């Protein structure tokens, strides 16, 4: 999907689920740190500790996992691999991200799963569901963020991939 169709699909999904959301345009951000230092978190009205990182992880045999975790949390790949029943995970290369999602590293997020190939699985750190307030995800571009309540994340994730994995990292 291209950026416009990803954003449209994200908005259609949230509307169909009856979830309130808003779209915030902002300066391009590639990392959790940039979203804080460039003031994007303040702009979207979310607390800094609600920044979520989206990491594409890869198994040797080709399976991919989009892991969503708190931005302030260190990710132990061995533990995540164990939680997912995998032998070993590594961070996917930029060309793998582009091939799977049609977007570049630093812009991939939950809503890219709407057009993801079947071998890409969604995994969310269970601690994310304990957050309160709002959070946001890029939708096809790292210059806009779709913001909604963290309390709605499980419903959104289930609508995108009913068998998503909730993992402890």
pLDDT at residue 149 is higher than 90: yes
Residue % of the chain over a pLDDT of 70: 94
Residue % of the chain over a pLDDT of 90: 53
Mean pLDDT of the chain: 88
Predicted pLDDT of residue 72: 84
List the single range of 16-20, 26-30, 60-64, 124-128 with lowest mean pLDDT: 26-30
Q: How confident is the model at residue 48 (pLDDT cuts 50, 70, 90)?
A: low
Classify strands 120-125 and 64-70 as parallel, antiparallel or unpaired.
parallel
Domain ranges of the chain: 3-167
Which CATH code for domain 3-167? 3.90.960.10
Predicted pLDDT of residue 141: 81
Burial class (CB in 10 A: 0-12, 13-18, 19+), 60: exposed
- Within 10 angstroms of residue 85's Cβ, the number of other Cβ atoms is 7
Closest CA to 16 of 164, 119, 159: 159
Residue 9 corresponds to which tokens in the numbers above? 């699909």
Between 32 and 65, whose confidence is greater? Answer: 65
pLDDT at residue 49 is higher than 70: no
pTM score, two decimals? 0.89
List the single range of 36-45, 73-82, 128-137 with lowest mean pLDDT: 36-45
Q: How confident is the model at residue 115 (pLDDT cuts 50, 70, 90)?
A: confident
């Amino acid at each position: 999907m291209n950026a416009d169709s990803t954003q449209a699909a994200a908005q259609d999904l949230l509307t169909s689920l009856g979830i309130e959301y808003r779209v915030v345009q902002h300066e391009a951000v590639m990392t959790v740190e940039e979203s804080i230092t460039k003031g994007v978190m303040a702009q979207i009205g979310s607390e800094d500790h609600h920044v979520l990182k989206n990491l594409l992880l890869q198994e040797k045999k080709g399976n991919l996992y989009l892991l969503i975790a708190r931005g302030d949390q260190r990710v132990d790949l061995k533990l995540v691999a164990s939680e997912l029943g995998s032998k070993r995970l590594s961070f996917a290369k930029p060309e793998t991200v582009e091939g799977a999602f049609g977007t570049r590293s630093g812009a991939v997020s939950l809503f890219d799963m709407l057009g993801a190939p079947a071998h890409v699985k969604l995994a969310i750190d269970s601690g994310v569901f304990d957050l309160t307030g709002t959070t946001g995800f890029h939708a096809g571009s790292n210059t806009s963020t779709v913001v909604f309540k963290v309390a709605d994340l499980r419903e959104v994730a289930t609508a995108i991939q009913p068998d998503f994995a909730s993992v402890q990292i």
